[in-house]
A and B are shown apart, each in its own frame.
Chain A
Amino acid sequence: MSQAAVISHAAYAEHAEALGFWRKYVFSTDHKTIGKQYLGISLFMAIAGGFTAYAIRWQLAWPAAGIPGLGAITPHAYNSLVTMHGSIMVFWVAMPMLLGAFGNFCIPLMLGADDMAFPRLNMLSVWIFFTSALVLLASFVAPGGAAASGWTAYTPLSDTWTSAVWGQTMWLFAVALEFASFLIGGINFLTTAFTRRCAGMTLWRMPLLVWDEIAASVLFLLSVGPLVAGAVMLLMDRLLGTGFYDPSKGGDPLLWEHLFWFFGHPEVYVVALPGFGIMLEIMPVFARKPIFGYRTIIYSTIVAVGLSLIVWAHHMFVSGMDPRLATPFSVTTILISVPFAIIVFAMIATLWGGSLIFDTPMLFVIGGLASFIVGGVTGIFLGSAASDIYLHGTYFVVAHFHYTLFPVTFFGGYAGIYYWYPKMFGRMMDERLGKLHFWLTFVFFQATFIPLFLAGIGGTPRRVFMPSAYPSFASLQPLQVMATVATIGLIASQIPLVVNFFSSMFRGALAGRNPWRANTLEWTVDSPPPHGNFPDPPVARRWPYDYSVPGAASDWLPQVAETNPPAGIKVQRAS
């Protein structure tokens, strides 16, 4: 077996030599290149998403002033901006960053595989995704403007022809393409994890990031189907004039809400789990301590995946659905905080008593964890029907979900970028710029969303073009202004990242194979790894979290290390 693998590696090397520029960097089947392509697209789309955030916030703070760079906007254009902000950030930033980029880059390397199970399908998925991004961006200039019915595309807003005729249909097509891309990607992740692991890499030795990526893929695969069916029906309604969501034709607009949130709520975990995976992967390295409760974390993840399929109606407490559904969905929603609390406590216990090294990746992990806890705790208020009826549709909800999604997407994603950048590009990122980036981002993030919690508790409704027009909310306007100033600061805080990202490619210190002294398999090969990844097929001889093992020569034992600890020493194990 190893001989065959060596031959195939030689073939890889020869093959890589023969590839021209286009096949090597653009139409590549190499999972590492594809991961970088996803990362590039997601960071580019984050600029578009950030611009919409800026425009929305400016409108809310100074509605009379006109948005610099965009001018005065109509209420319809404001709805478009909100719709596109949500769609872009969830589908075109969070998913490609956390699943596309780190899933593709890390899974084969961490499992000791030469590539994904289906490299050509992988290339197909990134190009479908690229197309979907183009369709979405094109809808901005479509006649009638971009989709304006929210990222949830609630019927009948999305079902009628009154506005955004082209924009809404293009939005549907873009989302359909995006789903196709991530379905192909998810099938690829799952098949790779189950068939391409190197010798010794049992399921219970897989790094937690891989576990989280495949859990997210299973969840996406299971939750997206009914929404695809719903989207087919919506498309039929829009293009053919059927009446699935039209009460005047016997349909029911609530059907869409059920189908959307059956996907939409699990989608939060599709994004959150890989974000957690990145955090869990980085923590032990910078705490120099084994992960706490490896198997418990995995079991909790599986329980969370199962529960997340039966919580969706907590988005619909005030929608007019049967009120008898409120209690069961409150119960499941509060229940799902249990597995997540277990994961969070496992993270804290991993940090407890470690020799923490506060390099940039670790700062983003700890900052992300701290912020996510705020998001999780405020979720309890929205999950129980009684308090949700008051808070529903206010800025409290906006602040809550930004406190969950921003930490996993950006704190988690940035942690991943700073941590794996040396492996991706062979050079270290600048630590001083990185720390500056972290502190500015952390402070401005809190300053943006804490005022929105307060505005929400005060009752300010979201999705309103000009809340200050209502006399009862006029006194809360200073909170909106503060959030807007902080948002502009938050966007400006990303400048150090951009400078760091590009200048480090040329001027960063050479990273070497294992700059962080980490255990997982990707750190045993060159940075960046060659096409085909491993010159010799690796053998995993232990779990990936043997840090500070008593009696060992160094404070880390890579997964390939053969050394046993001296006899008689009890080591904390996975179970």
Chain B
Amino acid sequence: MSTLLFVILSSFLFGLLLFAIGQKSFRRITWFASLLPVSLFFYFLSYLTGTSTGEVFDSSIEWVPSLDINFDFRIDGLATLFTLLITGIGSLVFIYTIKYLKGHRHLMRFYAYLSIFMGAMLGLVTANNLITLFIFWELTSISSFFLIGFNNTDRSSRKSAITALSITGLGGLSLLAFAVLLGTLTGTYTISEMLQHPAVFSEHPYSTYLLIFLFLAAFTKSAQFPFHFWLPGAMKAPTPVSTYLHSATMVKAGIYLLLRFSPHFSMNEYFHLILLVFGGFTMLYAAFHTLFRTDLKGILAYSTIGALGIIVFLLGIGTALSITAAIVFIIVHALYKASLFLVTGTIDHQTGTRDITKLGGLRKFLLPLSIAGLLAAISSAGIPPSIGFLGKDLIYESTLHSPYSSLLTTTAVITNIFMVFAGFAVGWKPFAGQVPSTIETVKKPHFILWLAPLMLAVTGIIFGIFPGIIDHLFVTGITDQLSSGTAPHLKLWHGFTFILVLSAITIAGGLLIYKFWKISHKKERAIHRLENISPKNILLQTANYFEQFAYFLTRVFQNGYLRRYVMILLVLLTIVFGVHIFINPRIFLSLKEIRGLEISEIVVCLIMVLSILYTVFTKSRLSAIAGMGVLGYSMCFIFLFYSAPDLAMTQFSIDTLTVILFVLVLYRLPKYLKLSNSTNRIRDGIIATSFGTFLAFTIIEIMNETPLKTTTAFYAENAYELAKGKNIVNVILVDFRGFDTMIEITVLSIAAIGVFALLKLYLKKHEK
């Protein structure tokens, strides 16, 4: 087993192991859990020296080679960046949670879900096989579902979890469609090999569908308008989850997918245009919405959507410069946003509220935390010397060097002004000003609860002062890999340029809004009035109608009455047969080929007709069953006459058993009642007769076709040679198609268990 596969699976194994350890013993070794992400972090760090110079590390294990689905993993610059984000922020979140959820009833479960999520995420960003990537993608959705609904006693938590799962699940399906279509068009599922078929991505008539599927997958996962609404709902999760999944890692999976496929689609003009439109609209929309939230996490959720919008927007510009900007911004955002989330978590943990209107002056109690909040806010606002300043510079530089520079630059500036506000509102507002009367005193938090966010915030400043670190390690390599242009070198100070002016306008604008805009519940309610026309409501309403429609359909077709099912099946088949015969009548009977009837055959047919009439018109149930039995036995004769002894024997046994079963069941029923009126009986008679007639016609038609002899000949030739049997039917059953028989007897067993369980349970209930 290759090391890489083991490393990725280790998270899953660890998650399952935790379930085995159990809640009680786990509590004593909570610290031990954090060893996993920390060691994984250092493991992936070891790849960095190679990947920063453009080296790639491949590892492959066969899984389903016949379908070209394998555990292909490839670690390149992009993968290293994401694995380090996942394990690095993961380490802090793992450690932070020890104190944040201290003593929680389901702490063990939480860590298990978190580990499984981490494994899925690592698999997603290192997979080089599109199907494998899809599987990990779905695993992240599923583990996210469990984490959002972690407080499973809370109804709104569960609802948010289901909303998130349905939206990301929709995207997952679309990703599968993308994968299968792409695999069919290029003939491979290996992502890196797909690059050799550039025509598929830009000129092929199906490339439009590829784009739709890809965007649906990426936009749902990365919360782009109009699918963004699951992300604010997902904030019901415990704060470490929001930090980890819904700002730093999982929501970036969509971005990762777009980045991964941006070289493939580089010649497709629509790829960039659509990204630009959706990203641009999302970032403006979300950034504006941050003004109207009173919940700290609500603000963070919308500013995260905004940040994701910015990254998508940058990818849409599509130059080497903008890809560099996107990479830098991913790092910037991960650092400051995770830090802000953890700060919020600690505030919530210590004061019990996240309502921004009720918080203030906390710096008196939580000084180290307030430093972390301030530094993160600085980075988020892009004030030098933080890395955020660098990120914002690059954004403006890319928009200025793009075709529609004035429009794009204005959009970016307005968005960033709101983002500055959002950063300070969360990172600084709770600590500034006077302590409100509702808060008397705040307990000092455990040092981990402020150290974790502080570490992230300080890292942001260090990277800002020494931009060479990320430049050498990530940015150059990844930009070279993803675009044809050359990456600009990162510098903190560019001199007095137009970009600096824009930066100054952004910061000043943001701070002005921060100073004069009063966040209030009234404003939040005002924007809630627009809820009716929001995409969330429209989508949920559509889902509602769909459910009603499904309910209606089920009521009509599957009402639980066996007679209804039989009727629908027969009517449908009659229509199919009837239409077929009507459109294409090919029925002819050449009387010459029919040999004369023998007297025995005439007698048997006569008996059959009589028994049918008797069954239909008799007044007694038992006689009806007897009539059916006679019909079945007459059929045995027909089989015998036409040399099918196997069928005759089976028919005979089955018929006997059927009659016995009927008798046993009917024994319990009341005397023969006329349950159906004559209209129904006539209707059923018409359906049955026409079905029989059309079936007969179809069979005559089939007889006219020249049968395909090759299959029969194969069995006839090989039955004795290969399977040492002379009875071809039996050889097919036990040898050639033995696996089918195996499944069939399994199904039979399940049916028996079903009958047994149903009746026995029914008996027991009655005995009581």
Same complex: no
User: Which residues on B are within 8 Å of A, measured CB to CB?
Assistant: none
User: Which residues on A are within 8 Å of B, measured CB to CB?
Assistant: none
